[in-house]
Amino acid sequence: MAASGAPLVRMRAATMAFGSRVLWDHVDLDVGPSDFVAVLGPNGAGKSTLLDVLLGLTRLSSGSVEVLGAPAGRRARQIGYIPQQKGFARDLPIRGVDLVRLGLDGHRVGVPIRSARVRASVDAAIAAVGATAYADRAIGMLSGGEQQRLRVAQAVVGAPELLLCDEPLLSLDLAQQQAVTALIDAQRRERGCGVVFVTHDINPILEYVDRVLYIVDGRWAIGPPDEVTHSAQLSRLYGTSVEVMNIGGRLVVVGAHSHEHEHHQEDS
């Protein structure tokens, strides 16, 4: 647990490289309670790798990182994680409620805990994401939006201090994106957890974001959305002319699209 007033995430001069390829270089990042930080950048920029570092799954090439006041990986039970949207096999023999309960006792070996307290916590998380009506159905038979609501419930059931979200809106329609984003923001406001939200499109979360970390080819910028997602800043990051336009309240980036296809697809 982070000390009172201390950041939930503290990265200093954090660098990640694979051989000669530098994903990001000397990043300084603090995430405090109730912060909503979006991580943006093209495919291959190292956005998901950043979450792996915070989870303790990948070590920095250089620099330092602390999560909840300890080395990354030490406080995993106090971290909620929402992965990219990927469908479950239709014949997977677990229900939605079983998936959510894994957020409480999935780390344990042996028979899951069946106490009334655990069931009450699971039921409350499911109700909070509006999934009560279908939580007892097989997870593989549910729609993508229903599955993702249950993933949110799984991530928040243990009342995490930090919520890490890896492209949680992929494959969801606009209404589902809005619903899932609102659920994540509700957890932040009601429980004070910090949110690090990896995405390729800031528009669905723009109204919630406090700061943006934008990563391109090892270069990066961090600050409020209007200080980072503008033409001059993105042109600097991409090393080419980039135009940012506001069309009907949506940010549209022109000129970076062809550059993004130069990146590897295996890491987002």
Most confident range, picked from 62-66, 79-83, 86-90 = 62-66
According to the model, what pLDDT value does residue 36 have? 97
According to the model, what pLDDT value does residue 255 have? 74
Decide if 255 is inside a domain: no
According to the model, what pLDDT value does residue 262 have? 38
What CATH number should be reported for the domain holding residue 63?
3.40.50.300
In this structure, what DSSP letter does residue 19 have? Answer: T
Give the chain's domain count: 1
What pLDDT, in 10s, does the model give residues 100-137? Answer: 998 887 554 444 556 788 889 899 989 988 899 999 99
According to the model, what pLDDT value does residue 260 have? 47
Decide if 16 is inside a domain: yes
Decide if 35 is inside a domain: yes
User: What average pLDDT does range 188-213 have in this prediction?
Assistant: 92
> If we measure between CA atoms, which residue out of 178, 232, 226 comes closest to residue 205?
178
Question: Under 8 Å CB-to-CB from 228, ≥6 apart: which residues?
Answer: 211, 212, 214, 221, 222
Decide if 243 is inside a domain: no
> Is pLDDT larger for residue 140 or for residue 263?
140
User: What average pLDDT does range 202-206 have in this prediction?
Assistant: 89
Three-state SS string over 137-204 comes to: CEHHHCCHHHHHHHHHHHHHCCCCCEEEEECCCCCCCHHHHHHHHHHHHHHHHHHCCEEEEECCCCHH
Decide if 235 is inside a domain: no
In the numeric block, the tokens 């009506």 are attached to 133
Decide if 250 is inside a domain: no
Decide if 248 is inside a domain: no
The band of 88, judged by pLDDT with boundaries at 50, 70 and 90, is confident
The tokens describing 173, both together, are 């329609």
What pLDDT, in 10s, does the model give residues 157-168? Answer: 988 999 999 998
Decide if 232 is inside a domain: no
Residue 52's domain comprises: 9-224
> If we measure between CA atoms, which residue out of 200, 199, 196, 221 comes closest to residue 210?
196
